[in-house]
Homo-oligomer: A and B are copies of this chain.
Amino acid sequence: MSFSSTEQWLTRKILGMAGNPPFQLIVGQAAGKAGANDGLRRTAIVVSDRRMLAELALDPEIAFGDGYSDGRIEVRGDLVVFLEQLMQAMQGAGRTGWYARLRSWWLDRVNDNTTRGSRQNIHRHYDLNVDFYKLWLDERMVYTCAYFPTISATLEDAQVAKMDHVCRKVQLQPGEKVVEAGCGWGALALHMAKHYGVTVRAFNISHEQIAYARERARREGLGDRVEFIEDDYRNISGRPDVFVSVGMLEHVGLRHYEEFGRVIHRTVGDWGRGLLHFIGRNYPHPFSPWMRKRIFPGAYAPALSEVATIFEPWNYSVLDVENLRMHYAKTLEHWLARFESSVDRVTQMFGPEFVRAWRLYLAGSLASFRSGGLQLFQIAFAGANCRQMPWTRAHLYEDLQLALKEEKWMHATP
């Protein structure tokens, strides 16, 4: 067997495992020639050498992510479109090999979100220099799916609209107490206090984020109404009216859902209400192993059947589930565009390998939301004795309707 026929065999095997996506896999030496033949616009993966090819065959997802990051793999054509095609093809493909499955299982074990494990997992992502996130997030530093009332809204407006959407869904009343589990850099907690007249206790185990949020509360004169607490959700205390968690459930981990439900019930009890906002799935399956290894250790996006285990033991009523999948795709389009226009700065900060890894993470997430591999759920819920429940959901859309009507008038006026 010649080198070339080994390569051919590996190439066929790799493309087969990926469900035979509509693009070429080219090994280094042949890249120039193939590129010339097929035209530059044809999507292709160019792999540096045979060793990279073998790694891809053994553990495709992690090898692809790592190879792309360190430059041994190049993608010709639009990265997001390429990833969408790949995901579409993989949906029809069978299971990955034993080595990849074993590695996936092992990742799950070493990254378990115990109190200690969570602290490590969160530190690796959220304690990165805040100046880095400032380069590509909106001005309020909201690192979760935005809500675009219209498709052309700006990212800044869409993040404010998301925060209002959440506040309205739980019908915040002036004077009420809110607990937030996982508060990022504090945007939502501050927004609730400032615009809805509530007091907030916001929990987070990212040291950098809490420090930043505290400084912000001080600067905005909200220090007496928003308390930022550097602690695990398992240690949440007090008896607030409302429990809110936006973009944290992904870090709780499936085997801690029962515990998470117990914390919610201990906190808001049968009289309270709340909202969970999280990345989910149409059916249960684990996060991409590369994402779990390099970007979000310990992360898991649940299906609704799995999330039910948080609410059902406590007789909580699910009032409203909204799927904002396409809003996360839109959010990621904004983030990716801003990230790309700051690439020089990010390269200075963390080097080119980091840039490529984060490009893959953002592009991969965008492709996942577009193709439906990931969903975004907001679930509003209430305890058995809760008296603060909306009659309909019309109040969520009041401003928008007025705005639309005004727009109609404007168009009608000559």
Q: A residues bordering B, Cβ < 8 Å?
A: 91, 147-151, 282-284, 303-305, 308-309, 311-313, 315-323, 325-326, 372, 375, 377, 384, 389, 391-394, 396-398, 400-402, 404-405
Contacts and interface: CB of A to CB of B under 8 A. Distances in A.
A284 B308 CA distance: 11
Contacts of A313: 283
Contact of A372 (B148, B150, B317): B317
A149 B322 CA distance: 20
7 contacts: A91-B315, A282-B311, A283-B313, A322-B393, A392-B397, A396-B397, A397-B397
Nearest to A322: B320
A308 B311 contact: no
A321 B377 CA distance: 10
B283 A326 contact: no
A262 to B, nearest CB: 15
Contacts of A322: 319-320, 393
Contact of A316 (B148, B149, B282): B282
A315 B384 contact: no
Nearest 3 A-B pairs (CB), nearest first?
A401-B401, A305-B308, A321-B321
B384 A372 contact: yes
A282 B303 CA distance: 17
A117 B132 CA distance: 64
A303 B308 CA distance: 9
Contact of A304 (B308, B389, B402): B308
A377 B151 CA distance: 28
A148 B323 CA distance: 24
A375 B312 CA distance: 13
A402 B401 CA distance: 8
Contacts of A393: 322, 393, 396-397
Nearest to A321: B321
Contact of A397 (B305, B311, B317, B394): B394
Contacts of A305: 304-305, 308-309, 312
Nearest to A403: B394
Contacts of A303: 308, 312
B326 A389 contact: yes
Given A308-B305, A401-B397, A325 B317 contact: yes
A304 B318 contact: yes
A259 to B, nearest CB: 18
